[in-house]
Amino acid sequence: MPPRDEALLDARSDLPPAAPRPKGSPWPLAIALSLGVLACAGAGTAGLLYLEMRQQDAAFARERDKRAEAEEELRGARAGFEEQLVAARRGRAEAETETMRLQGELERVRRRGEEEGQRLGERVTSLERELGQARQLIQRLSAREERPRPEQQPTAQGAPAAGDWKAIERRLSQSVVFIATQLSGRRKDGTTVPLNCFGTGFFASSAGHIVTNKHVIEPWKFREMAERMAVEGIEVIEGSYQIHVWVAGTRFLRGAGNERQMDLSTGYSTATNTLEVVRTAPDKWETIQVGGGGARSLRYHDDQGNEDLAILRARVAAPVPAVTFGSSDSVEKLDEVMVLGFPAGPMILEAGVAETSPATGQVRKVEQTIFVSAAMIGGNSGGPLIDKRGRVVGISTRVAGGTETLGSCLRIEHAVTLLQGGAW
C-alpha cells in the first residue's frame, strides 16, 4: 500500500483539525514537587513530635521525682504513726490493767463494807428487837383492847429463817408506818376540795428517821394532782398542809360511822410538832401543755428518776425498831421479795387500825430501778421492798403502765445517800 500523504488527508477530512500533539508530559515534575513538599512536611512533623516527646519525657521525669518524694514522706509518716499507735496500745493496755485492779479493789472494799454494815445492822437489830417487840405489843393492846393473836407474840431471839415471810412480816411491821398528807384546795367558785394523799414509810434509824416517797408528802408537785389542779383551777389553802404518821398496829381513827376523824394523839404529826420534814431529794421538773384550745404550760415533777424520795423524823420518846438495810445488788431475776405497806390507804383499814398488808412476788429485772411482780397499789408508795433474809433492798415507788403486776422500786442506796445528806 503506497504511503499516504498525511497533509492531504488532513486537508480533505471533514472532521475538525486535531489538537497538536504535546512534545513532553508535565506529571513527573509535579509528582517530584509533591514528594518534596511531603518530605518537608514529614520532616517538620517528625521534628515537632520529637520535641513534644522530649517535653513529655521531662514532665514524666518530674512526676517520678515528685512521686518518689511523696512516697518517702509517706513512709516517714507511716513509721511515725506506727510508733504512736504502738505507744497508744501500750498506754491502753496499762490503763485497762489499772482499771481492772481498781475495780477489783473497789469490789473488795464494797464487799467488806456490806459485810461490816450487815454485821452492825444485825447487832443493832438484836439489841433493839426485844424493846421494839414490847413496844409493839403495848401499842396493839392499847389500840385494840384485846390480847394479840399467838403469832403476834414476841418471837425468840434471832432473825427469822430466810424465806419465812410470815416471821419477816411480823418483825418488820414494827418498823413500817402509815402516812396521811392532808391538804385542802379552793376552786375559783369558792368551793373547797380535799387533796389528801396516803402512803407508807419505814423507820430507817432508831432515832425516828422515816424514809418515804416525795409524792406521798408533796403530791401537788406530781403530774396527777398538778394536772387536776391546773384544769380545775384549784389553789392550795394556806395553812391546810399537814403530815401525820402512825406506826403499824396503832389506831388512827376515832369515833364511828361518818363521825370518824383522824386521831393525832396515837401518832406523830406536824400539827402537834412531833413530826418534821428533814429533807427531800432535789426536784426534777418536766413541762407539758394542758387546757385544750387555751393551752398553757404546766410544770410537774418527773417521777421516772431517783428523786422521788423524802426523809421525815418523828420525835420519839424512846428508840424505835429500825429496818436492816441490804444491798440492791444482792437481788437478781426470779429472787423472791415482799412489799409491805398500806395498799389503797384507809380504804381497806376498816377497823381504823394501821394494819400492814404484805404481798410477795419475784424480781423481774434489776436496772436503775428494781422491777417486781409483787402487787403494788396506791398506798404502797414509800414502803419497803424486802429480800428473803428480811433486809430492805428498795422502796416501792410506782407501777409500770398502770398495772398492778409490774412494780418499780428505787434502790435502797438512794435513800441511804439522802439520809447522809444527799449527793445529787
Cβ atoms within 10 Å, residue 34: 10
pLDDT computed for residue 157 by the predictor: 42
Secondary structure of the chain as H, E, C letters = CCCCCHHHHHHHCCCCCCCCCCCCCCHHHHHHHHHHHHHHHHHHHHHHHHHHHHHHHHHHHHHHHHHHHHHHHHHHHHHHHHHHHHHHHHHHHHHHHHHHHHHHHHHHHHHHHHHHHHHHHHHHHHHHHHHHHHHHHHHHHHHHCCCCCHHHCCCCCCCCCCCCHHHHHHHHHHHEEEEEEECEEECCCCCEEECCEEEEEEECCCCCEEEECHHHHCHHHEHHHHHHHHHHCCEECCCCCEEEEEECCCECEECCHHHCEECHHHCEECCCCCEEEEEECCCCEEEEEECHHHCEEEEEECCCCCCCCEEEEECCCCCCCCCCECCHHHCCCCCEEEEEECCCHHHHCCCCECCCEEEEEEEEEECCEEEECCCCCCCCCCCEEEECCCCEEEEEEEEHHHCCCCEEEEEHHHHHHHHCCCCC
What does the alpha-carbon distance between residue 388 and residue 407 come to, in Å, rounded to a whole number?
Answer: 18
Tens-digit pLDDT profile for residues 140-155:
544 443 333 333 333 3
Direct distance between the N- and C-terminal alpha carbons of the chain, in angstroms, rounded to an integer: 147
In the chain, what percentage of residues exceed pLDDT 90? 45
Say what the pLDDT of residue 149 is: 34
pLDDT score of 389: 95
**pLDDT for position 44:** 84
Better-scored residue on pLDDT, 22 or 258: 258
| pLDDT: which is higher, 342 or 37 | 342
Average pLDDT over residues 260-285: 94
∠ at Cα 244 (239, 250), nearest 5°?
A: 155
Residues 156-184 pLDDT 10s: 345 667 779 999 999 999 999 999 999 99
The Cα 136–Cα 178 span in angstroms is 15
User: Do 185 and 231 contact (CB within 8 A), yes or no?
Assistant: no
pLDDT of residue 137: 55
Residue 93 to residue 87: CA distance in whole angstroms? 10
Looking at residue 127, its pLDDT comes to: 64
Question: Between residues 186 and 114, which one has the greater pLDDT?
Answer: 186
Average pLDDT of the segment spanning 187-203:
94
Q: Which of 11-15, 44-48, 87-91, 288-292 has the lowest mean pLDDT?
A: 11-15
Q: What is the pLDDT of residue 120?
A: 76
pLDDT digits (tens, 9 = 90+) for 333-389: 999 999 999 998 888 888 889 999 999 999 999 999 999 999 888 899 999 999 999
The answer on pLDDT for 85 being more than 80 is yes
Residue 414's contacts (CB-CB under 8 Å, 6 or more residues apart) are 281, 306, 309, 395
How confident is the model at residue 155, as a pLDDT?
38
Residue holding cell 481492772? 100
Kindly report the CATH number that applies to the domain delimited by 163-419.
2.40.10.120
Residues 6 or more apart from 284 whose CB is under 8 A from it? 301, 302, 305, 307
Query: Minimal CA–CA distance to 386: which of 112, 123, 163?
Result: 163
Q: How far apart are CA 273 and CA 264, in angstroms?
A: 11
d(CA 378, CA 367): 23
**Lowest-confidence region among 40-49, 246-255, 309-318:** 40-49
pLDDT at 404 over 50: yes
Share of the chain above pLDDT 70, in %: 83
Domain boundaries of the chain, sorted by first residue: 67-146, 163-419
Q: What is the mean pLDDT of the chain?
A: 84
In this predicted structure, what is the pLDDT of residue 145?
A: 38
Instruction: Quote the CA–CA distance of 245 and 301 in Å, as a whole number.
Output: 24
pTM exceeds 0.85: no
Q: Which cell is 386 given?
A: 424486802
Structure-model confidence comparison of residues 14 and 286, the more confident one? 286
Q: Say which residues have a Cβ less than 8 Å from residue 131's Cβ, sequence separation at least 6.
A: 318, 319, 321
Give mean pLDDT, residues 102-123. 81
Q: Is residue 364 packed enough to be buried (19+ CB in 10 Å), middle (13-18) or exposed (0-12)? A: middle
Q: Which residues of 59-87 are buried (b: 16+ CB within 10 A; e: fewer)?
A: eeeeeeeeeeeeeeeeeeeeeeeeeeeee
Residue 252 has pLDDT above 60, yes or no: yes
